[in-house]
């Protein structure tokens, strides 16, 4: 199936062995927007998110049906290692707990890029600075770039991980509950940054925080037991829910 959407998720089902964790999901993702995935725990949000950059390929029992088109190309059409690695460069991912490597802030930043490209020191330094600035963490780390990343606070580590993902200039950024372990100030910094980043990048974020979804996202998809029950403009999802399930969820009854 071909569509004009930047990304289209067509009749996608995901299985772990016999467990169908994502059920026949259809979603279009527009370029340069933020889409939130919301819904109770265990309803398939992470599974679908991780299918978008083929992270689930690493799980033996995992299987996907349907297709995910990125600019018209089925991301599951090729299986060679180079293709999948290239896809993960284009589609960055941020996890719930920050995962900096136990090395310096600077080395964390250059690692993804030195694996893929060759840049001279000056260009590299410039890029590190630019990406730390866009993730709103530069001022806090500029005097300690060669100190260990593990000395940063949780919120700083998460912003560092985001800055690191940006080193590859991803087309799409997937974030799985990136703020769940963070204080309100770090959360606010990340939200502000994401709203700015969408000028350059298309963002999909899983969040349990209803305020966060309504503050930052253009579109929202509500998941329940593996299905997308409702999806659309965030304002419609929150202010004009069509199903009882969704209105129960946003009013905290589920």
Ligand X SMILES: Nc1ncnc2c1ncn2[C@@H]1O[C@H](COP(=O)(O)OP(=O)(O)O)[C@@H](O)[C@H]1O
Judged by the rule CB under 5 A, the positions of this chain that interact with Mg ion are 46
If you compute the radius of gyration of the chain from its CA atoms, what whole number of angstroms results? 18
- Answer yes or no whether residue 45 interacts with ligand X by CB under 6 A: yes
Least distance between ligand X and beta carbon 146 (Å): 37
Nearer to ligand X, 44 or 66 (CB): 44
Q: Smaller CB distance to ligand X: residue 45 or 131?
A: 45
Question: Does residue 59 belong to the site contacting ligand X (CB under 6 A)?
Answer: yes
Q: Stretches 38-46, 88-96, 98-106, 246-254: which one binds ligand X (CB under 6 A)?
A: 38-46
Q: Does 42 bind ligand X (CB under 6 A)?
A: yes
Instruction: Name which position in 35, 46, 51, 104 contacts ligand X (CB under 6 A).
Output: 46
Distant-in-sequence contacts of 1-8, Cβ < 8 A, 24+ apart: 1/67, 1/69, 2/69, 2/72, 3/28, 3/69, 3/72, 5/29, 5/30, 5/69, 6/30, 6/31, 6/70, 6/71, 6/202, 7/52, 7/68, 7/69, 7/70, 7/71, 7/172, 7/202, 8/68, 8/69
170 binds, among ligand X, Mg ion, none (CB under 5 to 8 A by kind): none
Q: Which of residues 12-31 bind ligand X (CB under 6 A)?
A: 16, 19, 21
Task: Decide whether 94 or 136 has the Cβ nearer to Mg ion.
Answer: 94
Residue 95, interface with ligand X (CB under 6 A)? Answer: no
- Site stretch for ligand X (CB under 6 A), options 45-53, 72-80, 160-168, 187-195: 45-53
Distance in Å, CB of 117 to Mg ion, minimum: 32
Q: How far is the CB of 54 from ligand X (least distance, A)?
A: 14
Identify which of residues 55 and 105 has a Cβ nearer to ligand X in the complex. 55
In this chain, which stretch among 2-10, 44-52, 114-122, 213-221 interacts with ligand X, using CB under 6 A?
A: 44-52
Of the two residues 34 and 221, which places its CB atom closer to ligand X in the complex?
A: 221
Residue closest to 36 by CA, chosen among 168, 198, 170, 163: 198
- Provide DSSP, 187-252: HHHHHHHHHHHTTTSEEEEE-S-HHHHHHH-SEEEEEETTEEEEEEEHHHHHHS--SHHHHHHHTT
**Parallel/antiparallel/unpaired status of strands 34-38 and 202-206:** parallel
Q: Which residues bind ligand X (CB under 6 A)?
A: 16, 19, 21, 41-47, 59
């Amino acid at each position: 199936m071909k569509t004009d959407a930047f990304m289209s998720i067509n009749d996608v089902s995901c299985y772990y062995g016999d467990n169908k964790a994502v059920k026949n999901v259809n979603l279009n993702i527009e370029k340069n927007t933020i889409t939130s995935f919301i819904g109770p725990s265990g309803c398939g949000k992470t599974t679908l998110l991780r299918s978008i950059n083929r992270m689930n390929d690493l799980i033996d029992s995992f299987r996907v049906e349907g297709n995910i088109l990125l600019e018209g190309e089925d991301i599951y059409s090729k299986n060679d290692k180079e293709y999948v690695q290239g896809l993960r460069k284009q589609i960055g991912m941020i996890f719930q707990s920050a995962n900096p490597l136990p090395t310096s802030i600077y080395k964390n930043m250059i690692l993804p890029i030195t694996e893929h490209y060759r840049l001279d020191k000056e260009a590299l330094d410039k890029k590190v600075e630019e990406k730390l600035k866009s993730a709103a963490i530069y001022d806090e780390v500029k005097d300690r770039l060669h100190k260990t990343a593990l000395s940063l606070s949780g919120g700083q580590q998460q912003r560092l991980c985001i800055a690191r993902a940006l080193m590859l200039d991803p087309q799409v950024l997937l974030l799985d509950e990136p703020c769940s372990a963070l204080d309100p100030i770090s959360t606010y910094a990340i939200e502000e940054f994401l709203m700015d980043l969408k000028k350059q990048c298309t963002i999909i974020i899983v969040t349990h925080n209803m305020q966060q979804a309504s503050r930052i996202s253009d579109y929202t998809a509500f998941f329940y037991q593996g299905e997308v029950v409702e999806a659309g403009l965030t304002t419609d999802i929150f202010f004009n829910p069509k199903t009882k399930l969704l209105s129960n969820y946003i009013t905290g009854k589920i």
